[in-house]
Chains A and B, each alone.
Chain A
């Protein structure tokens, strides 16, 4: 884990240094009253007058305590604060869509493996192919046109109505749910195709094993064989895939949060990219990679907890 973490910081640092000119140009270029001496002071403040490796280490020291610098935007707030206040929304949305992916993809995968080459299997195969090829932001647009503009059933932006403060707790909750339906549905859509295919392949692999034949031979019902013996073993590798899907989900949050105007980390990232707010961009890049690393680590631990073979080795 540690070498990976150090690697992540190096890549972030290199990306940051790709910027032509120095990061202080942005603050000083527009201002004719800035003297050469003041520019030097700014450079010294950001350690830009020191050699590259020293710059890296002083930057590393700062991010070790989550000091990601101050935003270039007029509010000048610490980057860490700006990210942390938006992180819960993004993580909640991602967890909700992960749950949705699991709830839909696993039954589809299992059923199409158990009834291999049936009509159901063929239809899902077609859907999976189309799902892989569908640009989700386009699907989002179409659903917004259908449910938001034509039918008027669902709101198409934000996570709260303007009047939510005046609603009763229940109405306010329903309001929130209505705002979240489309974003969660769409961010889950991207992962559905992949996971159901993966689940199907796992299940087919497991059904072929000797212990399944043993279970059948000793006269267990087909239900017990599939759902008690096969399913458990086919589910194991899914944990790893969930860990691996974290970067995709987090990356996708940029698109959904921008389309649906959800005030999460993805939207902040997009706005910072547009505004050239480098400290925030780098901060989110770093946090995104760390979250991915954490996701993988949690998946590894869960895998070890559920699969005794891993624990032994």
Chain B
């Protein structure tokens, strides 16, 4: 498919464009956090504890008098970082295992796909929590663990692509002129399998952001005082009968972000392969 053709169809797809706009705005927001946030996100103001939304504090303050809007702006950075790094990990692992399984077939395929089946038996959230219990919660551990528990879908997808692509003429001709396995896998086949990987990756970012917020909400994700949408919601739960703004806004931010990535992912899929619609 021509690049300009892709762009044209992408721009005609309203869902995709809406998702793209949301994602772009979030990028700008998190890059510009130091200039957009009106207050220092960890500045404690004991005279303004749990103040409702007002012109000075657009989204109110939390139990330590910190500005919620500023904390959410910085929290956007955390979400984005976790989303991208964790998805990067799972795409990397999933692509390599899927490529190897699909390309070599036979017992290599059996072993890898059996391992996928085994990993799929574990409730993901249980596995993540168990590893976090052992490794201490920190933003890096969270990203690695979410990545390590999310690669199975990618493996299945890439494997299926490789199985159908490896018998095609361009691969045979590459082999005929003496290209090695690694060259065939990475230079010839993989670029053709990237379309479905891109869609999974976009949807994966949304999933990782949701998981991070749930973990942070439970107090085993990003640790305070680092602001994250999930741990502002924890404060919301602790002050559930007085401070509704602590519960409402961070969740809304998560909802909009995840919606944005999902729309973008589905949009890319529809654009790449209209038959799937």
Instruction: Please list the residues of chain A having a beta carbon within 8 angstroms of any beta carbon in chain B.
Output: 3-4, 7-8, 10-11, 15, 18-20, 129-130, 132-135, 137-139, 141-142, 144-145, 148-149, 156, 247-248, 250-252, 254-255, 258-259, 269-270, 272-274, 276, 278, 281-282, 284-285, 288-289, 292-293, 296
Contact = CB atoms under 8 A, between A and B. Distances in A.
B121 A292 contact: yes
Interface stretch (B48-56, B168-176, B183-191, B206-214): B206-214
Nearest to B137: A273
Nearest to B210: A135
A134 B255 contact: yes
Nearest to B135: A18
Interface in B100-122: 114-115, 117-122
Contacts of B130: 15, 273, 281-282, 285
Contacts of B135: 18
Given A15-B130, A137-B217, A289 B122 contact: yes
B225 interface: no
A4 B241 CA distance: 47
27 contacts: A4-B117, A8-B118, A15-B131, A18-B134, A130-B255, A130-B259, A132-B262, A133-B258, A135-B210, A135-B217, A137-B214, A137-B217, A137-B233, A138-B233, A141-B233, A141-B236, A149-B241, A247-B120, A252-B125, A254-B126, A255-B218, A269-B126, A270-B129, A270-B218, A273-B129, A274-B219, A289-B126
A7 B116 CA distance: 10
Contacts of B213: 135, 138
A288 B247 contact: no
Complex A-B, nearest 3 residue pairs according to Cβ-Cβ distance, in ascending order:
A138-B251, A251-B125, A7-B118
Contacts of B233: 137-138, 141
Interface of B: 114-115, 117-127, 129-135, 206, 210, 213-214, 217-220, 233, 236-237, 240-241, 244, 247-248, 250-251, 254-256, 258-259, 262-263
B237 A288 contact: no
Contacts of B214: 135, 137, 255
Contacts of A15: 127, 130-131, 134
Contacts of A296: 121
B133 A273 contact: yes
Contacts of A274: 219-220
Given A15-B131, A273-B129, A142 B259 contact: no
B134 A278 contact: yes
Contacts of B120: 247
Contact of A142 (B217, B251, B263): B251
A19 B131 CA distance: 9
B255 A138 contact: yes
Given A130-B255, A130-B259, A292 B122 contact: yes
A1 B240 CA distance: 46
A9 B115 CA distance: 12
A242 to B, nearest CB: 15
Nearest to A293: B121
User: Which among B114, B117, B125 has the highest number of chain A CB atoms within 10 Å?
Assistant: B125
A144 B133 CA distance: 28
Contacts of B134: 15, 18-20, 278
A289 B123 CA distance: 7
A250 B236 contact: no
A145 B255 contact: no
Nearest to A7: B118
A141 B262 contact: no
A3 B217 CA distance: 36
A254 B129 contact: yes
B117 A141 contact: no
B217 A251 contact: no
B263 to A, nearest CB: 7
A29 to B, nearest CB: 16
A132 B254 CA distance: 12
Contact of A250 (B114, B126, B218): B126
